Amino acid sequence: MNAVSVNGQNAAAPLIRMRGVTKIYGQGIAAFQALRGVDVDIEAGSFVAIMGPSGSGKSTMMNILGCMDTPTSGDYLFLGTHVERLTRDQRARLRRRYFGFVFQGFNLLARTSAQENVELPLLYRGEGTAARRAAAREALASVGLAGWEHHSPAELSGGQQQRVAIARAIVTHPRVLLADEPTGNLDTRRSYEIMELMRALNAERGITVLMVTHEQDMAAYAGRVVHFLDGRIDGDGAPQPPARAETV
């Protein structure tokens, strides 16, 4: 990758390592410390749910993990590279190459088709038209939307819109999928369908999934839950069993 040297990862090293990560917004008496010395390792191919009450630091953590923000202090290593030392442009290139993003609100372009929405990351990469279209069709088929390529978001259900968003996130074959409340706008049945899809992407493709959620039932799909409280990790372990049966 131009101007960004991602080191060869030691086989024993985690995909992501954070040590002493802090984040402070504002200055003086208005300063707010969102993260207070976070230490965490995330292994390649894992599925991690990040939980915590509002203001706990979990969203700040996700922004730093996704290279959209930088820590005030501490080390963030991705594949052995110190992300906190990169320039804004270098972080953007790292983000485009290694990360895919899924949001609660889908973030689809309203006046474009499902296929055009999925092609967007490849357009930013400079891919040719034919390659973009083929990759987008393949990604849509992989999330169960073959035949829906030319439908606009308004013609799709909420669950289908989130599938388009996931296809857009995986069309670049990312190492990491960052999902911010991916089921927050969906009913229970569609939520379980999306979680089954994300679990399959993790298990079958080896994509590392990092997901913020408030819902215990959704966190139960992960292999690990990291709980934040007041800017610190308050718990880190296996998820609790779902509160109710998964009827889909």
- Pull the structure tokens for residue 87: 């320039």
Q: What is the pTM of this model?
A: 0.90
pLDDT of residue 247: 46
- Indicate the DSSP class of residue 75: E
pLDDT of residue 184: 92
Per the CB < 8 A criterion, the answer to whether 83 and 70 are in contact is: yes
* Structural domain includes residue 37: no
Cα 39 to Cα 27: distance, rounded to the nearest angstrom:
24
* Structural domain includes residue 245: no
* Structural domain includes residue 248: no
* Structural domain includes residue 204: yes
Ordered mean pLDDT values, 10 residues apiece, the chain (248 residues): 53 90 93 96 97 94 95 97 96 94 93 96 92 96 96 96 97 97 94 96 97 94 97 93 57
> Which residue's entry shows tokens 């089954």?
196
* Structural domain includes residue 219: yes
* Structural domain includes residue 68: yes
pLDDT of residue 243: 63
* Structural domain includes residue 85: no
Give the number of other CB atoms < 10 A from CB of residue 128: 9
How many separate domains does the chain show? 1
pLDDT of residue 244: 57
Please report the sign of the dihedral spanned by the C-alpha atoms of residue 95, residue 99, residue 102, residue 103: negative
- Structural domain of 138: 45-72+98-237
* Structural domain includes residue 214: yes
- Pull the structure tokens for residue 156: 């799709």
pLDDT of residue 39: 98
What CATH number does the domain containing 141 carry?
A: 3.40.50.300
